[in-house]
Copies of this chain bind each other. A is one copy, B any other.
Amino acid sequence: MGLSAKQQQIREREQQIIRVARAQVLSEGYHGFGLEAIAVEIGVSRGTLYNHFSCKEDLILAVLMESLELRLGWVQRAASFRGTSRQRMTAILVAIELFARIRTDHYRIEEIVRSGTVWEKANSEKRIAASHMNGQATGIVAGVVRDAIVQGDLEFPADVKPEEFVFGVWSLIEGGFSIHSNSGRLWQPMTKQSGRILRLSAWRLLDGFGWKPLSTGEEFSDQTESILKELFSAEFRLLKQDW
């Protein structure tokens, strides 16, 4: 269809806008997120942006949405890892950490979404979509936890729901990265290898909940690396720093 070709074109332009917008946020932070800068970078006028997004906030949410989609894909891939329940959980931890480290921009966007009037101003359907997308990711992880329980690898206190457990693990990884990314400012560089200690902590957290097979030493290092290479070799190459 001729129309379809045109729609395709529009779609491409939208994604170009999103891509450039994300790059701006990443390099300039909140204050770099100006429509003029984005328009210039793309080579269109500011007015054109409004043919694609009804306001600035809608654009921000579109950027966020893309991140969430991407992350969901990674989590899905990780959850499908063929192995023990503990290995699948490990794969998810690897996915989240890798995402956090490669997609620094994602945090910037989240900050913006949180810090301003974004959520209020943006199109409500986009808001719901974003919430849903995020919920899917956590749901998948909770599914792995349930599998572990079913398979007898994990025994939970009666009053702890899988979603809650996910919340704890996820907090550890994301919180760690969040602190790390602040290092240059408020925090003295806590550790040069914050990734390693974060992975170790997550691994020991699984132990703490009795997720079998319990760790016997430093094997987490080998396991995460092998999962990384199997599932995310391409993405891993994008990572400039050490793992």
- What number of copies of this chain does the assembly contain? 4
Query: What class of interface size applies to chain A in its complex with B?
Result: 35 or more
Residue A53 lies at the interface, judged by CB distance under 8 Å to chain B: no
Q: Which residues of B contact A197 (CB under 8 A)?
A: 160, 164-165, 167-168
Known A176-B168, A198-B168; judge A187-B30 contact (CB<8 A): no
Interface of chain A residues 188 through 230 with chain B (CB within 8 A): 188, 190-191, 193-194, 197-198, 200-201, 203-209, 217-218
Separation of A115 and B113 alpha carbons in the complex (Å): 12
A30 touching B116 by the CB < 8 A rule?
yes
Which A residues contact B (CB, under 8 angstroms)? 29-31, 64, 108, 110-117, 119, 130-131, 134-135, 138, 157, 160-161, 163-165, 167-176, 178-179, 182, 185-188, 190-191, 193-194, 197-198, 200-201, 203-209, 217-218
29 A–B pairs (Cβ distance < 8 Å), ordered by A: A29-B115, A31-B116, A110-B186, A114-B186, A115-B115, A131-B187, A134-B187, A135-B188, A138-B187, A157-B218, A160-B200, A163-B190, A164-B191, A164-B194, A167-B191, A167-B197, A168-B197, A168-B201, A170-B179, A171-B176, A171-B198, A172-B205, A174-B175, A174-B179, A175-B175, A201-B205, A204-B208, A205-B208, A207-B207
